[in-house]
Amino acid sequence: MSNGGGSIEKQLRINERIRVSQVRVIGEDGSQLGLMTPQDALRVAREGGVDLVEVAPLANPPVCRIMDFNKFKYEEERREREAKKKHHASKLKELKFKPHIEAHDYQVKLQQLKRFLTRGDKVKVTMVYRGREMTHLELGRRILGKLRVDLDGVAKIERDPLLEGRFMSMIFGPDHAGIKRAQKATQLAARQSAGSEGKTPQRPTAQGTARQAHEQTQNQ
């Protein structure tokens, strides 16, 4: 039984803290026990060595459930911890490109970009011009345009290309819906591949073997 204290107890009224004239009670197994006074409901809970917890205070009358509150509190706190672990604060990453970047280097940076976006980060792609490259700005624009195409379904444009001195940059943000679709498609393809690999070739039946022998005899 609960000893009180903790943030969850502050949000939910339990045991003697339930001070209303009547409550609708749900049993520990989920069964409907009907209307009772809080005192009678608490007596039932005590007999089972558990607690009476008000789960719907705004209902008329309020709804209470008989449960092991310590176990319930532990599960709630565990879910909160897992949710915090999964939560990823979005960060702005930066990747720098050259107007004359080679195909292999482009692919390496493209995969790095995809990893950042899939993780939920935004990415600032900066085209760095040096010396006479400033007279060929279209080379950098072409690469940024290629990135826009290659990242379709993974990224959305947060900011179009902007020239600032010798730097031309644009910002990509994650396309969450597109990423989820791609992940589902990958998972489906993996399951289908695993299923096809697991199939064993069917052995010929005796009837089929006899029929094949007869056909071979007829053809000779």
CA–CA separation, 193 vs 203, rounded Å? Answer: 22
What is the predicted pLDDT for the residue at 2?
54
For the chain, the maximum distance between any two Cα atoms, rounded to a whole number of angstroms, is: 97
Residue 159 — φ and ψ, nearest 5°? -155, 130
Please tell me whether the overall predicted TM-score, pTM, comes out greater than 0.75 for this model.
Answer: no
Segment 85-112, tens digit of pLDDT: 665 566 899 999 999 999 999 999 999 9
Q: Which CATH number fits domain 92-177: 3.30.110.10, 1.10.10.10, 1.10.8.60, 3.40.50.150?
A: 3.30.110.10
What is the predicted pLDDT for the residue at 5?
44
Question: Quick check: 157 pLDDT over 80?
Answer: yes
Give the domain ranges of the chain. Answer: 7-84, 92-177
Give me the CATH code for the 7-84 domain, please.
Answer: 3.10.20.80
Residue type at 181 in one-letter notation:
R
Residue 210 zone, left/alpha/beta (φ > 0; ψ -120 to 50; rest): alpha
> Cis omega (within 30 of 0) on the bond before 61?
yes
